[in-house]
Amino acid sequence: MAVTALVAVLYVAFRAADPAPPPVRALWVTRFDYRTPEDVRSIIRNVADAGFTDVFFQIRGNGTTFYPSRIEPRAYELSGNSVDLLGADPGWDPLQLAIDEAKPAGLRVHAYMNVLPGWKGLSDPPVEAEQLWTAHPDWFMVDSTGAKMLPTSGWYAFVNPVLPEVRAHLRGIVKELCRYDVAGIHLDYIRYPYDYHLVAGQRYPDAPKEELMRHADFSYDPASQAALLERYGWKITKKEITQFRCESVTRLVRDISYVMQLEKPGRCVLSAAVLGNPVDGRNHAYQDSGAWARTGLVDWIVQMNYGTKSFTRYLGLIRKAAGRRGFGAGVVVGVNCENDAEIILRQIDAVRHSGARGVALFSYTYLFDDEHRLTEKGRTLLPKIRP
């Protein structure tokens, strides 16, 4: 047998003998779940006691941080309820506290960040806080009418991943997070805001549906238009626009991965929350999650498979998009705990039998109340989802 053939046979044999990666049982904890150090202590204790292996702990929402950053202002929610408090030092670090509390329990903390949201609400941040909305207004996406994307009371305005300045800024955030002893960095809203039409009526109350859809088609800023023109010329098809926007988002993911490899080589999991339907994700949100899983660009794609009737079909779609190896090693299926407990348990069971890497539950607030006590749903679910 030729040496090269023998090497190939041995490689396949060794790969076949590799143990399966350990299963993931993750829980999302949003920035709305905590305000005080005692909140964080209670949260981490509850998550660990419930038998989860990983916690996605949110520390960035919309261009503000829940840790001391040199790049962005501290979130005002840690100091009060007024936007005027943006940038105030609350005197503690939620991310460091979560890590310190989790380590003795063997719970892995992933710093969870909203990536492209840059501001939310109808009030502007104070100029002196140097928040993105006022400091870099030209970084925000532009709709097909030529208007800058506007935040609503409950929804974000997004920054544009095509811009080198935006990618550099976000690389800086990731570099800061890598200085913590985190097990991973978890990316959310790593996509275009295709669903803005659902909330655009607050900003454009008299606009007909067709116009609202135009206000939800992004980004038509000069930099994006120039890049499209340079690549494709004047005759640009929808297919080419889709490819360009997908590449723009993927380039940002690649930038983040590169920073992590430099700062924490091989020691930090990169995960991304992705749309439940990977076909719609690519065609409308420009989020090529299947390719990210197949190529190993991210370690885990966390499928937000939040529906009930669509759950099984979307599970099949993500398996096909990720490929057999990518599905088993790198797909964690997100289940929505807003659903009925019986449905949730059936979905968790389906994930366990699917061959996926694991399951993630959204979110803490459905399992524990404001006093960090088990909810009725938590009492029903948690004993049954332990390993």
Give this prediction's pTM.
Answer: 0.94
Its domain, for residue 170, covers 21-121+158-194+250-385
Type of residue found at 145: T
Residue 77 is assigned to a structural domain of this protein: yes
Residue 281 is assigned to a structural domain of this protein: yes
Residue 83 is assigned to a structural domain of this protein: yes
List pLDDT tens digits, range 170-180: 999 999 999 99
List pLDDT tens digits, range 55-67: 999 999 999 999 9
List pLDDT tens digits, range 209-266: 999 999 999 999 999 999 999 999 888 999 999 999 999 999 999 999 999 999 999 8
pLDDT at 205: 96
pLDDT at 267: 87
For residue 304, pLDDT beyond 50: yes
Measure the CA–CA gap between 55 and 182, rounded to whole angstroms: 11
pLDDT at 325: 94
Residue 267 is assigned to a structural domain of this protein: yes
List pLDDT tens digits, range 190-221: 999 999 999 999 999 999 999 999 999 999 99
pLDDT at 172: 98
Residue 103 is assigned to a structural domain of this protein: yes
Q: For residue 294, what are the contacts with CB-CB under 8 A and spacing of at least 6?
A: 321, 322, 323, 326
For residue 118, pLDDT beyond 60: yes
Report, as an integer, the average pLDDT of 343-368. Answer: 97
CATH of the domain at 116: 3.20.20.80
Domain count, the chain: 1
Report, as an integer, the average pLDDT of 87-104. Answer: 98
- The percent of residues above 90 in pLDDT, for the chain, comes to 91
CA dihedral angle for residue 372, residue 377, residue 379, residue 382, rounded to 10 degrees: -90
- Summary mean pLDDT of the chain: 94
pLDDT at 10: 35
pLDDT at 22: 87
List pLDDT tens digits, range 13-65: 333 345 678 899 999 999 999 999 999 999 999 999 999 999 999 999 999 99
pLDDT at 233: 87
Measure the CA–CA gap between 387 and 375, rounded to whole angstroms: 21
For residue 6, pLDDT beyond 90: no
Type of residue found at 73: P
Measure the CA–CA gap between 217 and 223, rounded to whole angstroms: 16
Q: How confident is the model at residue 362 (pLDDT cuts 50, 70, 90)?
A: very high
Q: Which residue has the tokens 């098809």?
A: 237
pLDDT at 18: 52
Q: Across the strands, what pairs with 143?
A: 218
pLDDT at 284: 96
- Phi and psi at residue 304, to the nearest 5°: -85, 75
- Phi and psi at residue 51, to the nearest 5°: 90, 15
The encoded tokens of residue 55 equal: 């916690």
For residue 268, pLDDT beyond 80: yes
Q: What is the DSSP string of 173-194?
A: HHHHHHTS--SEEEEES-S--G
Residue 140 is assigned to a structural domain of this protein: no
pLDDT at 4: 34
Residue 298 is assigned to a structural domain of this protein: yes
Residue 139 is assigned to a structural domain of this protein: no
